[in-house]
Amino acid sequence: MRRAVLSTIVSVCAVMLTVQAQQPQTVLQGVYAENQARRGQTIYKAQCALCHGEMLEGRLGPPLTGDEFVSDFAKQPLSELFGKIRNTMPQDNPGKLTPEETADILAYILQAGKFPAGRAELRADEAALKQITWPANAAQPKTASTPSPASSFPPAGNLAQVMRGILFPNSNIIFTVQTHDPAEKRTTPEGAALAGGFNWTIWGSDIYSGWDLVDYAAVALAESAPLMLTPGRRCENGKPVPVNDPEWLKFTEELAEAGRAAYKASQTRNQETVSDISGVIAEACLHCHQVYRDKPGRGRDPVDPSNRANRCTK
């Protein structure tokens, strides 16, 4: 009888803990345990302190505590920070940490950030971590009280040059993930890089990992999209880029958002996830091209076979 009662109690407690883990929480509600944070501190010192500092103050890598750090993740569930650590750290050997070690490090980071401990350990489970968020009043990065005046940089090239020099090659790096796993250990035969000419991916592959290249390409898309709004820039045909047109503004933001989504996908270090997001980039490009580039009658004029004369106009 006692065994039956004890078994029932254990089962009820297990169910209650499971239900509690599935309920939305914030990091203010004791989502990790003290002993877990102690384990995490030991792992952190061995794997992370060299780059992020003994006190998480930042060194070669960014700080992992303070207002700036919290603000970077405040709008995302805790699963995003967990995935960032699990998939991309340590930088010299990403993916080395087990899910349990990652959860322990995350517990230590929360402890260092003065978030309270609780009874249960932080679970190395993405579904559970998605239910944990930061408080609504999470710190925002501090800004200078008197902002410096923004500098104005005139355009150096036309829109086609920006497209072909930045957006086109970096989009293609992301599209290539559909057929090539960035995690593949590829060796470039001696002299192949030189023979390949100006192939950035070949030259870069001797310096950076495949996933690093995908990260950089996604960031390049997100950061360079606003260059489409540079005042004074002209199209290849000499027409001014319609920087104040509502649709142009919408398409520019769509491309920037696609770049941010690609970077987030790349952080998962999953080929299929990035392959899926490449379609979002393609759609963002297509929406703008259909309105401002691909004009009716294209290819019919022998003098202007691509109808460049009407680009940058609706």
Query: Residue 224: helix, strand or coil by DSSP?
Result: helix
Instruction: Indicate if 62 and 102 belong to the same structural domain.
Output: yes
Q: Give the model confidence (pLDDT) of 21-45 as tens digits.
A: 457 999 999 999 999 999 999 999 9
- For the cut 70, the answer to whether the pLDDT of residue 18 exceeds it is no
Q: Which of 76-90, 107-121, 293-307 has the lowest mean pLDDT?
A: 293-307
Residue-number span of the structural domain to which 242 is assigned: 159-310
Are 82 and 103 contacting, i.e. CB atoms less than 8 angstroms apart? yes
Query: Taking 70 as the threshold, does the pLDDT of residue 305 lie above it?
Result: no
Distances (CA, A) of 312 to 4, 144, 161, 218, 231: 77, 38, 14, 25, 14
In which band, very low, low, confident or very high, does the pLDDT at 269 lie, cut at 50, 70 and 90?
very high
**Predicted confidence (pLDDT) at residue 300 exceeds the cutoff of 90:** no
Radius of gyration from C-alpha coordinates of the chain = 25
In the predicted model, what is the mean pLDDT of residues 214-230?
96
Looking at the predicted structure, is the pLDDT value of residue 178 above 50? Answer: yes
- CA-CA distances (angstroms) from residue 119 to 17, 29, 97, 99, 129? 11, 10, 24, 20, 16
On whether residue 300 sits in a domain, the answer given is yes
Q: Would residue 269 be called left, alpha or beta, if left means φ above 0 and alpha means ψ between -120 and 50 degrees?
A: left
User: Stretch 179-190: mean pLDDT, rounded?
Assistant: 76
Task: Say if CB 267 and CB 84 are below 8 A apart.
Answer: yes
Whole-number percent of the chain with pLDDT over 90 = 65
Is residue 26 situated within a structural domain?
A: yes
DSSP string of 82-144?
Answer: HHHHHHH-STTSTT-S-HHHHHHHHHHHHHHTTPPPBSSPPPS-HHHHTTEE--TTPPPPP--
Q: Are residues 26 and 123 located together in one domain of the fold?
A: yes
Which of the two residues, 19 and 302, has the higher pLDDT score?
A: 302
d(CA 120, CA 293): 57
Asked if residue 159 has pLDDT above 50, the reply is: yes
Judge if 163 and 305 occupy the same domain.
Answer: yes
The vertex-175 CA angle with 170 and 181, nearest 5°, equals: 110
Is 152 part of a structural domain of the chain?
A: no
pLDDT digits (tens, 9 = 90+) for 76-99: 999 999 999 999 999 888 989 999
Contacts within 8 Å (CB) and 24+ apart, 308-311: 308/236, 308/237, 309/237, 310/237, 311/235, 311/236, 311/237, 311/239
Q: What type of residue sits at position 137?
A: N
209 and 286 housed in the same domain: yes
Q: Using 50, 70 and 90 to split pLDDT, how confident is the model at 5?
A: very low
What is the structure's pLDDT at 58?
A: 92
Per mean pLDDT, which range of 8-12, 172-176, 290-294 is the poorest? 8-12
Residue 134, pLDDT above cutoff 80: yes
Domain count within the chain? 2
Q: Indicate if 204 and 93 belong to the same structural domain.
A: no
141 has a pLDDT exceeding 90:
no
* 3-class SS of residue 302: coil
